[in-house]
Structure 1
Amino acid sequence: MLKENRSLDRGIEILETLAREGAMSLADLHRATGLPKSTIRRLLQTLIARKIVRRSLADQLYRTLLVFPDISTEVMPKGMLQVADAAIPRALALTKAIGWPSDIHIREARAMRIIDSTRQVSNFHVEQGQINRRVSHFGSATGLACLAALSDGEIAATYEALKSDLHWGPVRFGLDLPALMRRIEEVRARGYAERLPAHLSEREWDTDLRAIAVPIRAGAQVLGGLSVLWLRTYKSVPEFAELHLDALQQAAADINAGLDQVWDSPPGLSTSA
């Protein structure tokens, strides 16, 4: 029993450290806790198997999926693990097939949030994405893809909720509601969204990249988006879409089918800012 309690105590120490510090490597955890790396590695394997910790594909860092009210620096988005589990294998297959990387986003109330990426395993060198980075609903490819998958009433409600937000709202892109709806109709007609030229996120990022995206769903619920990114000098958006849109749409359809089998009905997504 003493050995089991010791293991439990060490596991909790790892979880508390991840909750307090955020994403960490094995070396980071070793420095923070003083535990042997072999012990940390063994405990992490158990925590990952129990869906309590996950290791991101994009940066290979460990993150806890539990929230400690007095410790955690950020609320964990609901449904993130289910979306990641369904999306990552399909996104990897897509990148293997076309070479270019994908970002996986979930939809939150104020912005889209990147939860993982295949940039690290792409054949092409592109700037590495940042896990948990937020991008605009109105300027990003995934945000516009999600909006286009909603009803017109839901789009109008999102617009009204964010129109006074100078950071995340449509004003940054000079969009009134009629202009937004015209863009939405273009997305629906094409079958994909592209990021706006004036795309801005929490900070300037990916200025040398283009992106197209399609939504990710579970049933009728729009959960997020899957994008493909490429260097701006490679091809125009229509040229790239002609080559790779079918593969992107099939990857999203496979993700949706996987989510339909596991999605809790309905857990809802985080509405944190």
Structure 2
Amino acid sequence: MLKENRSLDRGIEILETLAREGAMSLADLHRATGLPKSTIRRLLQTLIQRKIVRRSLADQLYRTLLVFPDISGEVMPKGMLQMADAAIPRALALTQQIGWPSDIHIREARSMRIIDSTRQASNFHVEQGQINRQVSHFGSATGLACLAAMGDGEIAAIYEALKTDRHWGPVRFGLDLATLMQRIAQIRAQGYAERLPAHLSDREWDTDLRAIAVPIKARGQVLGGISVLWLRTYKPVQGFAALHLEALQQAARDINAALDLVWDDTTG
């Protein structure tokens, strides 16, 4: 086999393995493929440069940015690569500025999904985020920030579509449409959203943390959100926002401006 063909075959094997197994370390890929670590490392560097694979900041694991429906059964959210490219360096700069970490969420039909986090880069010890974890539109800070950035009609349509869903819907947070719209008005007035406690009995993730968030947009389209998290014992929400909201909003504006440069109708 020609050297070029052998490299191509090995690169495809790595991509198929990532699609099948999900996020993996270099050691995981070595065990799964049997390829030398030096070969895997070289191929990963090329795949990252070509934006086919990315290494998450939060857990340092490799993930494919290509969709292999027959292997993974998953569909990548539209615009995820562009959003990650724009948001991650600016979220990292925000964490370096204020100390506290950020999570980056992308908006999906039924929920918000974490695509990366700067928790490992923070000087403060907080629970480590889980990449690809889904959270509710109606209870998460980023989800509520996204809703507040939409028109009232679109909010009502999302509410109607999910109102009977006890896991992802508003019932989990005790929200009827009128109460939700009151909260949306408050979010719009104060310039940020905060997470809500769950009203059902299942344990809430990150119970020791508070979060505020603002939306991420590309040419006016709401794509997701960026949050800042801190320990509940540090400050109440209003006190934290007084210190750090301006920096969070500036990071979001910088992300939005970067996305505006690369976004078009085919991207989203």
With the length of structure 2 as denominator, give the TM-score of the two structures.
Answer: 0.97
Runs of 4+ with deviation above 4 angstroms: none
1:12 maps to which residue? 12
Equivalent pair of 2:197/2:204 in contact (CA under 8 Å): no
Aligned length: 267
Within-5 A mapping of 1:145-224: 145-198=145-198, 204-224=204-224
| Secondary structure of the corresponding residue to residue 239 of structure 2 | helix
How many Å separate the matches in 2 of 1:255 and 1:226? 10
Cα distance change, pair 237–199 in 1 and its aligned pair in 2 (3 A): farther
Q: How far is the alpha carbon of 1:64 from its aligned partner?
A: 0.5
Quick check: 1:139–1:199 contact (8 Å CA) kept in 2?
no
Residues 204-242 of structure 1, C-alpha deviations (whole Å, 9 max, x = no match)? 311100000000000110000000000000000000000
**Offset, 1:197:** 2.4
Equivalent residue for 1:70? 70
Give the TM-score of the pair, scaled to structure 1: 0.95
Quick one: distance in 2 between partners of 1:132 and 1:102? 15
Q: Which residue of 2 aligns with 1:104?
A: 104
How far off its partner does 1:73 sit? 4.1
Instruction: Measure how far apart 1:145 and its partner are.
Output: 0.2
Deviation at 1:75, TM superposition (A): 1.8
Identity %: 87
For structure 2, which runs of at least 5 residues remain unmatched after alignment? none
C-alpha spacing 1:203/1:82, structure 2 compared with 1 (3 Å) = farther
Structure 2 SS opposite 1:71: helix
User: What is the DSSP-based 3-state SS (H/G/I as helix, E as strand, rest coil) of the residue aligned with 2:70?
Assistant: coil
Structure 2 CA distance, aligned partners of 1:264 and 1:128?
34
Note the 1:262-273 alignment, pairs <5 A. Answer: 262-268=262-268
Tell me, yes or no, if structure 1 residue 35 matches structure 2 residue 35.
yes
Give the SS at the match of 2:10: helix
Question: CA–CA distance in 2 between the matches of 1:172 and 1:264?
Answer: 36
